[in-house]
């Protein structure tokens, strides 16, 4: 018998701090597996965000920088500009990327920085305890909109892939969902394509991953993946939004 699946060598042995059923862990694995497959080991710097993934620097088995809230694309820009032949990626959540860091992500994309950004959209602020995120769905409950997000009061969710794909700088923009094995395998393919765009110095590459947060959604694992599959995907359709 041969091993067909094992933990990636691009992950450290540190156990993830994420809650049970949180799909951040799946996203970490996919990025690590892709880094291994493209031979990035020994030539990669990752940038961790502020939010649930703040400790990502403990998990990726490579040089890492921890950015201030929302600024991971700016930090990644600084790294990539002085190390243009090094693979540079940023890993960000929805509050980090689509709220406080909106300027940084849009401008890094517009400049066509040759970096890869992995965007975890779980429609909630996890680390701080379940507040409304920029991507929280209409009607979705959060601790700062306890009756559900009301656009009249709380505004509307932001679709990042659609927004980013209007810019000239990105060459690959895609959205996947971490809700079942088939979709996870698709997500991995997209992440790999995104990193290949960087390796080929094509342009900015961006993959959004719809992700489950059972803890802050107040759901079981099963309910949470159903929510990703049905509710989230109806607002955030999957697919490749731009490929050049």
Binding site for another protein (CB under 8 A): 1-8, 11, 15-16, 18-26, 28-29, 41-45, 47, 54-55, 57-58, 61-68, 71, 74-83, 86-88, 103-104, 106-107, 111, 180-181, 184-185, 214, 221-222, 225
DSSP state of 61: S
Nearer to another protein (CB atom), residue 81 or residue 156: 81
C-alpha closest to that of 206 among 68, 66, 104: 104
Nearer residue to another protein within complex by CB, 71 or 192: 71
Instruction: Return the number of the residue (55 or 202) whose C-beta is nearest another protein.
Output: 55
Residue 98 to residue 92: CA distance in whole angstroms: 9
Q: How far is the C-alpha of 214 from the C-alpha of 223, rounded, in Å?
A: 8
- Give the separation between CA 75 and CA 89, rounded to whole angstroms: 10
CB of 134 to another protein, least distance (A): 18
User: In this complex, which beta carbon is closest to another protein, that of residue 54 or of residue 145?
Assistant: 54
Minimum distance, C-beta of residue 149 to another protein, in the bound complex (Å): 26
Q: Cβ of residue 50: shortest distance to another protein, in angstroms?
A: 8
Nearest-approach distance from CB 150 to another protein, in angstroms: 30
Which secondary-structure segment (H or E) carries 215? Answer: helix 214-217
Distance, in Å, from the CA atom of 62 to the CA atom of 64, rounded to the nearest integer, reads 6
160 phi, psi to nearest 5 deg: -70, -40
């Amino acid at each position: 018998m041969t091993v067909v699946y094992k933990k990636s060598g691009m992950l450290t042995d540190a156990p993830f701090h994420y809650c049970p059923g949180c799909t951040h862990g799946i996203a970490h694995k996919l990025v690590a597996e892709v880094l291994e497959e493209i031979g990035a080991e020994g030539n990669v710097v990752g940038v961790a965000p502020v939010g649930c993934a703040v400790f990502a620097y403990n998990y990726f088995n490579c040089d890492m920088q921890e950015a201030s809230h929302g600024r991971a694309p700016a930090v990644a820009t600084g790294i990539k500009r002085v190390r243009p032949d090094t693979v540079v990626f940023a890993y960000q959540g929805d509050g980090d990327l689509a709220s406080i860091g909106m300027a940084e992500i849009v401008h890094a994309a517009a400049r066509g920085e040759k970096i890869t950004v992995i965007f975890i959209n779980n429609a909630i602020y996890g680390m701080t305890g379940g507040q409304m995120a920029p991507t929280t769905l209409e009607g979705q409950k959060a601790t700062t909109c306890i009756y559900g997000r009301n656009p009249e009061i709380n505004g509307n969710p932001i679709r990042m892939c659609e927004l980013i794909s209007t810019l000239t700088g990105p060459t690959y923009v895609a959205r996947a969902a971490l809700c079942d094995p088939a979709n996870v395998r698709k997500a991995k393919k997209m992440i790999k394509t995104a990193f290949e765009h960087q390796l080929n110095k094509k342009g900015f590459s961006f993959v959004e991953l719809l992700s489950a947060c059972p803890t802050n959604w107040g759901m079981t694992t099963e309910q949470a993946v159903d929510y990703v599959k049905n509710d989230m995907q109806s607002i955030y359709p999957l697919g490749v939004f731009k490929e050049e």
